[in-house]
Amino acid sequence: MKKLILLLLLLFPMSAYSQWEIPVPARGDTLSEVHGEVQALQDTTTDVHSTLSAFQSANGDTLTDVHTLARALQDSLTDTHTLIRAQQDSLTDVHTLTNTTNVTVSDIESDEHSSTFLYSRKAVQTGTSKADTSAVAFYSFDLTAAADSTYGAAVQILGTADTPRILGNTTFHIAGFMVNSVNSNSLYKVRIVWGASVAAGLAAMTFTETWVFGDSANPQQSQPTAIHVQMAEVATGTEAWVQIANAAGAQTMGLTFDTHEHD
């Protein structure tokens, strides 16, 4: 084996491989080049900084004006936004008012074109029905005032079974009444109460009042001749009572009434 190695060395000396050697660059030269490029970049950065500083020095007032203008524009936009919000709130209020007005007009229109149902006293009353809509004779609800301008006894004019007249209607109100008899040419107060009872209605303030000037000779000419009742819309089946008062003491009145119903 040793002889073979010696033979190879004689045939192929080491100098034959010199042409295949890879040159290794000097480390110092490479670092110097990198340092030079970094220095050049630093110089460029310094130049940019100097240019910006010069621009800022030359245009400081302009930049301040631009900043001031931008702030003023921002304030203006804020004011505009506030104004738009105020207008939006105003439009919302108008929209709400319009809807409320539309509902009110609709209610008035509905009441104006609803049917009127006439009621008189039922000849044979029951616990749930006090009024009659089909009686031929005009049976009046007879009322008596108490002494000294005090309301007399309440007379029930509607029971729970007296409304609605039209199946499916859910609300009604007493629209008016007609005087059929009075025994005094004097001023009467008429009060209509509705609710669970007279006491409950008075406590809850669910009642309405009006004036009537009696004409004993011509009761239907008692003033006003068309007696309108101002009252809330109530659920069908609501009970109602009526009372009168007269300064002259225990005077009397007979009346009938009418209603409007709504679905």
Residue 187, domain member (yes or no): yes
Is the pLDDT score of 76 beyond 70? yes
Read off the pLDDT of each residue in 185-213 and give the average, rounded to a whole number.
97
DSSP 96-155: HHHHHHHHHHHHHHHHHTS-EEEEEE-SS--SS--EESS-SS---EEEEPPSSS-----E
Q: Is residue 173 in a domain?
A: yes
Instruction: Report yes or no on 185 lying in a domain.
Output: yes
pLDDT at 107: 58
Neighbours of 238 (CB within 10 A): 20
Residue 49 has a CB neighbour count (10 Å cut-off) of: 10
pLDDT (0 to 100) of residue 41: 65
Range of weakest confidence among 65-74, 121-130, 196-205: 65-74
Q: Is the pLDDT of residue 13 over 60?
A: no
> Which residues span the domain enclosing 161?
117-262
Total domains present in the chain: 1
Residue with tokens 């930049």: 63
**Whether residue 153 has pLDDT greater than 70:** yes
Q: How confident is the model at residue 162 (pLDDT cuts 50, 70, 90)?
A: very high
Joined tokens for residue 82: 């506030």
Q: Give the pLDDT score at 140.
A: 93
Query: Is residue 242 one of the residues assigned to a domain?
Result: yes
Q: Considering the domain boundaries, does residue 19 fall inside one?
A: no
Residue 90 lies in a domain: no
Helix, strand, or coil (residue 191): strand
HSE value, Cβ hemisphere, 13 Å, CA-based, for 8? 6
Chain center to CA of 134:
44
Whether the per-residue pLDDT at 5 is higher than 60: the answer is: no
